[in-house]
Structure 1
Amino acid sequence: MTNKSAASLTVFLCVKSPGNRKVLAASLEEAGYHCRPLINEADMEAAAAIGGKKLALVDTSGFGSNVWRLCEKLQQMNTAFIVLSPQEMLTSSSQATQYGAVSIIQKPVAKKALMQLVAGFTGEE
């Protein structure tokens, strides 16, 4: 299920867990999206150099308070982002909108809901 809109979008995966990052990448790449990890400063510099439409998925698990600095940097790069939050962190994750998050999704994330949200971002729906 690939299309031109999907191929034109780069999705940055700001996810500390290698397993979760792999699962997200597999689902998104199957739909035709280009995925890149974004978990450190080197990744951030590489991401800033990428042109075209960009979206980041930010899993708040494992980043601690550094997640908000990451969100600020994404906003400075004009990169839209969606926050993925465990239920126990939803209250603190609600401040993600203050940092520019376009949406907050509670984990575990339903694949269909996430794919619809990403597709909506690209104008596919």
Structure 2
Amino acid sequence: MSEKPLILTVDSNSRNLELLNQFLTKQGYETIGVNSLSELDRQLSELSEIKLVMLDIAGFDRTIWERCEQLQNQQIPFLVISPKQSATIQLQSVAHGARSMLVKPLVMRQLLALIKSLLGD
């Protein structure tokens, strides 16, 4: 029996977080959702088995980029979810180590393909 990959989802909107986690769970992934930077910090310090982080930057201040650098330093792949298409956000995301950026509304087929690619499935 193989273990389900653990995905940490980060979203300041609790309802969006719940919907994303439900979708990922149905796809066979284990998820932990957090909706604050302090919860993100706690999970990153406590969990070593995180395989991927999905980070919705909406609702967070600029210190979110420090968390991205922390993810990069811990060699945890992550993707940024943005509320809008923005060259600036895309450049910031890549500069801080994001493997990719998705723009809302999410296209689930594209999301799954990206997750599988990042996890090496």
Q: TM-score range by the shorter chain?
A: 0.7 to 0.9
Contact 1:48 1:77 (8 Å CA) reproduced: no
Question: Are 1:44 and 2:41 an aligned pair?
Answer: yes
Query: Normalising to structure 1: TM-score of the pair?
Result: 0.83
What amino acid does structure 2 have at the position aligned with 1:12? L
- CA-based RMSD of the aligned residues comes to 1.9
CA distance in 1, matches of 2:59, 2:109: 24
Displaced runs of 4+ in structure 1, greater than 4 A? Answer: none
Q: State the identity %.
A: 24
Contact 1:60 1:93 (8 Å CA) reproduced: no
Contact 1:25 1:35 (8 Å CA) reproduced: yes
Aligned residues: 119
Q: Which runs of 5+ in 1 are unaligned?
A: none
Candidates 87, 105, 110, aligned match of 1:108: 105
Cα deviation, residue 121, structure 1: 1.6
Cα deviation, residue 116, structure 1: 1.1
Q: Which runs of 5+ in 2 are unaligned?
A: none
More helix by share: 1
Contact 2:81 2:102 (8 Å CA) reproduced: yes
Question: Are 1:18 and 2:14 an aligned pair?
Answer: yes
